[in-house]
Amino acid sequence: MCQANPLKNPPASNRNVNIVPKTSSGNIRSMKMMLFSLILAFLLAGSATEITGVRAQTAEPESGAVVCAPGIRPETADNCIIAGPSAYLNELEDLGLTLPQRPLHTRRPDPALTILPYRYFKLDEEEVPQLTGPEGGQNGQVYPPGFVYVSYVDRVDTGKGIYYMLESGAWIAGRGARVSEISAIQGLEFRSTPNNPFGWAFEYIPVKKAPGYNTPEIGVYLYPFAEVFQVYDTKNVDGADWNMIGPGEWVEARKVAIVTPKKAPPQGAAVNRWIDVDLAEQTLAVYDNNEIVFATVIASGLEPFWTRPGTFQIYLKKETENMRNNDPTDFYYLDNVPWTMYFDKARALHGAYWRTRFGYPQSHGCVNLSVGDAHWLYNWASEGDWVYVHDPSGLTPTDPALYHDWAY
């Protein structure tokens, strides 16, 4: 299983937050003039190149020509020339970026969705016999070596060792580790579909002034899943894609998970509600009435246990499920997997209480979600709802012979 890389304490973000007080109309006009002057000085210093990564190719206006005020569009510029600040702001607006930036219309889901009524214990990867009681004899049942998580209902310290009572009434010796914390990661609910792609960083990454590995950092850092951002442009520099997330703000695309809003349902699903799973970006988006209502990050199947691309329907929902694979070379057993929605044989959408990180392929074929996200999706989804699994990169194979009937 993938383990999180230890991260150093990053420097605190120095992103400024502008708080605009109430002002009179005269003050507002003064502020607008000051803003115009500042933008003009900024552009004359050559900052437009740093912000967009491309120097604007604007012809020098003739002497005496009137330059349009910021906010004037070319189609309405009757008696002025689009140049300087107005050209720069139009360039940003063409990318879907306005100043100040428009926030996404989102809200956090109920944090109570992250709570589970179970306690879990991860067994050491060795054979573990079940017992008739604390320090009791074996009852004939064993857990083979492998990836094993069990639910327990009681814990006893006899002075000679710690023992856990399972839901079945059997006991095991406490060789392993309790799951002390379940990931509280949650996606976002949307009140309207964003106009631009959006996403999250799934690693701690610096924001750069322009695309490229050798460009300077601006002193701002993105923390894993701390805040959502919009993507206004993408450029390939130094053999890598870079996303523009604001004026003069670029991040490496491979370290972020992006949702690109869809305008129509997937082919073969003539409906207005579906679940979109992007294997390349490791994201999931939920559409209702053709509008995004929820989005988050996932962990899909890791080679050679890929999550199969295709258009499927949820055929079975179970609040909890015990999952296992009896192959001794790859044995796993998972007690009380929450909020399970089967859509492709044994492949399902479900909560993964054993995961602390998302945004990477890690599973045996299922679409793993945080407990809170799986709970939200379970409440929304119905049997028969469509699930569209796709890989825009084309790297996930589609040969049916490569896909097993089991997964987790």
Residue 152 carries which side chain, given as an amino acid letter? Y
Mean pLDDT of 333-359: 97
Rounded to an integer, what distance in angstroms lies between the CA atom of residue 301 and that of residue 203?
Answer: 20
Question: Is residue 251, in this structure, part of any structural domain at all?
Answer: yes
Q: How many domains does the chain contain in total?
A: 4
Residues 79 and 36 in one domain: yes
Residues 69 and 172 in one domain: no
Its pTM stands at: 0.79
Report residue 78's pLDDT band, with 50, 70 and 90 as the boundaries. confident
The residue among 211, 235, 259 that closes a domain is: 259
- The answer to whether the CB of 362 falls within 8 A of the CB of 368 is yes
Q: Which residue has the higher pLDDT, 242 or 87?
A: 242
Residues 136 and 50 in one domain: no
Question: Is residue 85, in this structure, part of any structural domain at all?
Answer: yes
Mean pLDDT of 50-77: 59
Question: Is residue 214, in this structure, part of any structural domain at all?
Answer: yes
Question: Is residue 191, in this structure, part of any structural domain at all?
Answer: no
Report residue 5's pLDDT band, with 50, 70 and 90 as the boundaries. very low
Q: Would the pLDDT of 16 be above 80?
A: no
Residues 395 and 291 in one domain: yes
Residues 278 and 369 in one domain: yes
Residues 302 and 377 in one domain: yes
Residues 90 and 121 in one domain: no
Question: Is residue 387, in this structure, part of any structural domain at all?
Answer: yes
* pLDDT tens for each residue of 320-336: 999 999 888 889 999 99
Report residue 40's pLDDT band, with 50, 70 and 90 as the boundaries. very low
Question: Is residue 149, in this structure, part of any structural domain at all?
Answer: yes
The residue among 94, 125, 140 that closes a domain is: 94
Rounded to an integer, what distance in angstroms lies between the CA atom of residue 205 and that of residue 220?
Answer: 9
Per-residue pLDDT at 308: 97
Report residue 273's pLDDT band, with 50, 70 and 90 as the boundaries. very high
Q: In the numeric block, which tokens belong to residue 319? A: 């609040």
Report residue 59's pLDDT band, with 50, 70 and 90 as the boundaries. low
Of the listed ranges 9-13, 319-323, 337-341, the least confidently predicted one is 9-13
Mean pLDDT of 267-293: 94
Question: Is residue 315, in this structure, part of any structural domain at all?
Answer: yes
**What percent of the chain is modeled with pLDDT above 70?**
81
Report residue 21's pLDDT band, with 50, 70 and 90 as the boundaries. very low
Per-residue pLDDT at 205: 95
Residues 159 and 241 in one domain: no
Per-residue pLDDT at 94: 72
Residues 323 and 369 in one domain: yes
Peptide bond preceding 304 in cis form (omega within 30 of 0): yes
Contacts of 295 (CB under 8 A, 6+ apart): 187, 188, 190, 198, 259, 283, 284, 285, 286
Question: Is residue 383, in this structure, part of any structural domain at all?
Answer: yes
Per-residue pLDDT at 106: 96
Residue 64: half-sphere exposure toward Cβ, Cα within 13 Å: 0
Report residue 408's pLDDT band, with 50, 70 and 90 as the boundaries. low
What does residue 353 show for φ and ψ, rounded to 5 degrees? -70, -15
- The answer to whether the CB of 150 falls within 8 A of the CB of 335 is yes
* pLDDT tens for each residue of 288-322: 999 999 999 999 999 999 999 999 999 999 999 99
CATH code, domain with 348: 2.40.440.10
Q: Would the pLDDT of 162 be above 60?
A: yes
**Full domain range(s) for residue 37:** 25-94
Question: In sequence order, what DSSP letters do the residues of 85-122 get, joined into one string?
Answer: HHHHHHHHHHTT--SSPPPP-EEPPPGGGG--S-EEEE
Residues 313 and 359 in one domain: yes
Mean pLDDT of 235-260: 96
Per-residue pLDDT at 54: 42
Contacts of 266 (CB under 8 A, 6+ apart): 274, 276, 311, 386, 388, 390
Instruction: Work out the mean pLDDT of the chain and round it to a whole number.
Output: 84
Residues 385 and 354 in one domain: yes
Q: Would the pLDDT of 56 be above 90?
A: no
Q: Which residue has the higher pLDDT, 87 or 28?
A: 87
The residue among 143, 163, 178 that closes a domain is: 178
* pLDDT tens for each residue of 372-407: 999 999 999 999 999 999 999 999 999 999 997 777
* pLDDT tens for each residue of 166-185: 999 999 999 899 998 899 99
Residues 280 and 387 in one domain: yes
